[in-house]
Amino acid sequence: MTELRVVVTQLAATAHLNLMVPLGWALKAAGHEVVIAGQPDIMPAVKQTGLTGVAVGEEARYAERLAELAPEETIYGSGYDITETRPEALTYEYVRDCLAAFASPLALDVNTDASAFDGLVSFCRSWRPDLVIWDSMTFTGPVAAAACGAAHARTTIGRDHWGRLRELFLRMRAERPEAADEDPVRDWLTAKLEKYGCGYDDDLVLGQTTIDSIPSWLRIPARYDYLPVRYVPYNGPGTIPAWLLPEPERPRVCVTLGLSYQEVWERRAELGFTDLLDAVDGLDVEVVALLAPSSVPAGITLPDNVRIPGFVPLDPVLKTCSAIVHHAGTGSTLTALHNGVPQIIVPHTLHDEAQVAEAVDAYGLGVHLPPDRASAHTLRTELQRILTDTTFAERAERARQEMQEAPTPHDLVQDLEALVLRHRRSVGSTAAS
């Protein structure tokens, strides 16, 4: 196929960018031109990927802006939870109003303001991409695709609760003739599209296709087909330190709270630092805590078996580990699965981390340790259990092998090329009629 121009865009957070990079490089390696478009404060991280970037709009200042808001001024204090799964809670009114709360200044408009929409639309109208790939929390992508006539594909950045709730809303609305004209997401998107002379289309909500790197057993069932892709870890640039090269002399355990929590949500961490140190003090293990050295509380003395090296990419660390303790973020969970490492998950309470932890536990790959049970004693007990019970490692290895059966980003390139061709034919047939 002739060279395509592809724009990749995502939330201005390093963890979101990292999920997009392997696909960007697969497209680049296939001969296509790829530009990562984002707000200016994500550009330093974009430069480190080796792909070309373009800054659009004003700085997101994501962490700073969230810190300025009272809880009730954010989606997390709104009373609506997009990860809600209890049937008795999912009334039509709740589902409708939950979508309205997310498609509003409480949530999605915090991610990308008007300047980000203006900037991306302006760039796309000038550069004329054939394809826009956008993460599911960043609606500048589909709006810009509509404004420049490009095909577009959505990518999940975790389990697809937005798609689940959207499907549920449409099914429930179809049973209520009196609600036929209700659609808060359509109304929200229409207002943005009209600014650029574009009309609403349903595929702008969930993409013309959805790329998903979540393993099938962890994925939320949907009534439309995902475009599955193998998760390929990209945890940011770095070098393998000398201490990581020799075979560990005793079981190595990694601890991470993930990039997003260090950049944006560190104040919400559920894993207590002192509990962690007390849990591993004296154990015959080596602990590598991928936390900022500045996060060590004043006056704390690290046990001899704990190392806090600062940033090291998670993937090469996990290749030497016997276990990981983490918070259930997408990058941490999938990188652990990719490496077949048993997991202890002390989930944060931001999104669906507890649901992810429950699924990992139910699949036999690790232990879900709710925050209210995550004392030094229980953490120590569960860590000893997954290090001595070999069934955890055996199941983790099987899950790793299952992930390897998914199409690679390289394989996905042909599907995206086909999407562009279908879009061109559709646009051509519409113009002819």
* Rg of the chain taking only CA atoms, in angstroms: 22
State mean pLDDT over 42-51: 97
Reported as a single tens digit per residue, the pLDDT across 150-179 is 999 999 999 999 999 999 999 999 999 999
pLDDT over 80 at 72, yes or no: no
Q: What is the mean pLDDT of the chain?
A: 93
Taking the chain, what is the end-to-end CA distance rounded to the nearest angstrom? 27
Q: What is the pLDDT of residue 100?
A: 97
Q: What is the pLDDT of residue 258?
A: 75
Q: What is the pLDDT of residue 142?
A: 98
In percent, how much of the chain has pLDDT > 90? 82
pLDDT over 60 at 267, yes or no: no
CA 340 to chain centre: 20
State mean pLDDT over 144-151: 98
Distance, in Å, from the CA atom of 238 to the CA atom of 245, rounded to the nearest integer, reads: 14
pLDDT over 70 at 368, yes or no: yes
Q: What is the pLDDT of residue 292?
A: 78
Distance, in Å, from the CA atom of 189 to the CA atom of 285, rounded to the nearest integer, reads: 52
pLDDT band per the 50, 70, 90 thresholds, residue 407 = very high
pLDDT band per the 50, 70, 90 thresholds, residue 259 = low
- Closest by alpha carbon to 255, among 291, 206, 205, 224? 291
Distance, in Å, from the CA atom of 135 to the CA atom of 418, rounded to the nearest integer, reads: 20
- Distant-in-sequence, close-in-space partners of 29: CB < 8 Å, separation ≥ 6: 410
What DSSP line would sit under 406-433, residue for residue? SPPHHHHHHHHHHHHHHHHHHHHHHHH-
pLDDT over 70 at 271, yes or no: no
Degrees to nearest 5, angle at CA 264 with 17 and 358:
80
Burial of 385-406, coded b for 16+ CB within 10 Å and e otherwise, reads ebbeeeebbebbeebbeebeeb
Q: What is the pLDDT of residue 270?
A: 53
pLDDT over 90 at 273, yes or no: no
- Closest by alpha carbon to 213, among 16, 4, 5? 16
Distance, in Å, from the CA atom of 14 to the CA atom of 56, rounded to the nearest integer, reads: 16
Degrees to nearest 5, angle at CA 32 with 28 and 37:
75
User: Beta-carbon neighbour count of residue 431 at 10 Å?
Assistant: 7
State mean pLDDT over 90-110: 95
- Which structure tokens are listed for 41? 């404060």
